[in-house]
Structure 1
Amino acid sequence: MQRLQKVFSWVSDKLLFPFGRTKAPKDGELCYVSGARRCISTMIDLAIIVFMLQLVHAVFFLTFPKSETTFKAIEKHRMGASLTKDERILRNKQIYKAVALQVVQLVIVFVYHVYMWINFKGTVGKLLVGLRVIDENTLEAMSLGQATKRFFSTALSGIPLGLGIVWSNFDSRKRAWHDMIAKTVVVTNKSLKRCKELQATQGPSSSGNEP
């Protein structure tokens, strides 16, 4: 039984901490985070975003319903059949609506992330698991420019087989590529609060911002 427990413990450690457990920070030091905890927060945010986008999608098509004539014109276009002038107009209108919907959805995702980062130092997912995304130098909420950089550079971390995200496991401050570009770090809220308390009592020299 003890051997079995050791096996389960070893498997659990490898799944949650594939690159080894993070060393506990000293009192007043920031606890930088990567791995499973950030992944869980991202999954929570993804669920929220999918719900919002589905809601927008439903409202959009209730507001701009697709008529039977439009549906037939699109089907003819897909089959490669020639369209009349009116059918081409209907097809083009539908394409414009689809593009507009994509733009609206992108704006919603952008506003969600940027608003939460600037005002709450983290998205809902990050807040629920006790994490904060902050400026790596000031330890305060990121600026609008930083938030914009972080949002659009996230794709750079994920596109090359997620190498930019995996990189956070090897960086001394657990920064993914988009963190490096935006000059941000992800830390636990508990360690951030403690660091701020020590800053208030001992001065800026105890910022705990050294890697």
Structure 2
Amino acid sequence: MYIPKYFKITNAEEIWDFVQKNSFGTIITTDQGKPTATHLPLGLNKKDDDYYITGHMAYGNPQWRTFETCEDVLVMFQGPHAYVSSSWYSHENVPTWNYQAIHMYGKGSILEKDELIEDLKRMLGKYEQNRGNPVLWDNLSPKLLETQLKGIVGFKIKVEEIQAAYKLSQNRSETDYSNIIDKLQNEGNPNSKQMAELMEKRLKNHK
């Protein structure tokens, strides 16, 4: 991923936090030279000093078979994004697009059944913990679980390289930066509002 110096993120804690909050990612592998992709909720787990992306896909999805033959698996995570009009600047320029994106590269492998179950328990715990009637692993019937397990394949990807870009108008003047926040807030678009809130938070953290 091309990342100009203004937008490059290297803080590991910030990157892990981003992935945990934006965990619906895209997995890309190649099959005989042709790229193939699947969009999935993913987990990020640490074992010893290594980080692993974990998840599962349908048994009928042929992509899981490429993990054993593909040298590198690419996983992409994306945060808020929004159009930025150059009419919001104090000088003549061209429009652009603000966004957050993280790419992770690594080697993929298939989870054993017990590893898959542990990963499913973690995922249910994460997304169900604050619900009034949580659907947790131990609440589901063994028969249902066994049937569902036959229809999925778990995987893990050992993270070996990370590329992170936050394009948040960091290269603009303080006046333009503040004006972009105000304009995004008034766009009436959920993505624009999210981007404005993100930029405002960054501004406060860097003061």
Query: Which structure: larger Rg?
Result: 1
- The TM-score with structure 1 as length reference comes to 0.22
User: Greater strand percent: which structure?
Assistant: 2
